[in-house]
Amino acid sequence: MKPPAFQYQRAETADHAVALLAEFGEEARILAGGQSLVPLLNLRLANPSYLVDISKTPDLLAFEEVGAGLLVRASMRYCEAESNPIVRSRFPIIRDAIGMVGHDHIRNRGTVVGSLAHNDPAAEFPAVALVCEVTFKLRSTRGVREISAAEFIGSAYTTAAAADELVESVFFPARPSGTGEAIVEYARRPGDFAIAGIACRLGSNGQGLITECRLASFSCGPSAGRHKAAEASAIGQIGENSVFGEVGDLVADELSDIEAQPSPYRHRLVRYLVTESLRRAWHDAEPTN
């Protein structure tokens, strides 16, 4: 199908974009890469009266290192970060997550921040944002506010951003030394949305004990979410496969509890994904293991 009729405006600056949002309110949508929004338009699942195109807005392009962290602006495309040496070496979970997003064609146009603002329950980046504890910068004509990933990520396709707020950027803090991160998902074909996925971070005390654990699932419920009880169970334990498996059981049990029809297949899959992601994160935290 074809998109419904709408008015279209290219934003010259971030301020211009938020002025347009303030004027048109809930009938306006931000268009960045369009790889989620345009299919929704084509299917007539979205019917905004106004589109504010930020895909070429100069002050919303690209990313930059800020301190030891990474500031990802609203219109930065996946493909820009995918091959970047800084991202590859210091933020490998971003690189790995990007590699799981659709195909090259989608990554050549789609944006990290757009995926977060869309908050598809099956998308990788909401889970990555929760694990990396990123900070969202929201701008409107009323001002700028910064909120945490836990505050930003709502239920399916909803976020804490108000109708007049632009998600201007997302800040990924530097990963402390002695920590490792990983993202693992399973999809039946390359490029498909995952049946289930896990992103995690582990910290090591350098002597084989787990000092930090952050774990988020995606494509497992109404939204990406952390598993705090499972995380807490790992702290102080020895970083080994049996412990990772126990954490996997806790996460799989927790997710089974919220399913209308718990499936043994999903339970086993989630347990495997948790175990595997923790194993990889631990290897990343303690490369000698």
Instruction: Kindly tell me which residue out of 19, 22, 46, 53 binds other proteins, with binding defined by CB under 8 A.
Output: 53
* Rounded Cα gap, residues 210 and 240, in angstroms: 10
Told to check if 191 binds other proteins by CB under 8 A, we report yes
Of residues 87-106, those binding other proteins (CB under 8 A): 102-106
Of residues 66-85, those binding other proteins (CB under 8 A): 79
* Rounded Cα gap, residues 36 and 115, in angstroms: 8
Among the candidate windows 43-51, 243-251, 264-272, 275-283, which touches other proteins by CB under 8 A?
43-51
77/271 with CB nearer other proteins: 77
Instruction: Kindly tell me which residue out of 34, 92, 173, 262 binds other proteins, with binding defined by CB under 8 A.
Output: 34
Contacts with 250 (C-beta within 8 Å, 6 or more apart), sequence order: 227, 229, 230, 233
Q: What tokens were used for 30? A: 């931000």
Told to check if 6 binds other proteins by CB under 8 A, we report yes
State the CB neighbour count (10 A cutoff) for residue 149.
23
Instruction: Kindly tell me which residue out of 29, 109, 139, 271 binds other proteins, with binding defined by CB under 8 A.
Output: 109
Site map (CB under 8 A) of other proteins, residues 113-132, x = contact: --------------------
In our burial notation (b when 16+ CB lie closer than 10 A, e otherwise), range 66-103 reads eeebbbbbbbbbbbbbbebeebeebbbbbbbbbebbbe
* Rounded Cα gap, residues 253 and 271, in angstroms: 9
Q: Provide DSSP, 244-276.
A: HHHHHHHHHHHHHHH-SS--HHHHHHHHHHHHH
Told to check if 44 binds other proteins by CB under 8 A, we report no
Shortest Å, Cβ 44 to other proteins? 11
Q: For binding to other proteins (CB under 8 A), which residues are involved?
A: 1-8, 10, 23-24, 27, 31, 34-35, 38-39, 41-43, 49-51, 53, 55-56, 79, 102-106, 108-109, 189-191
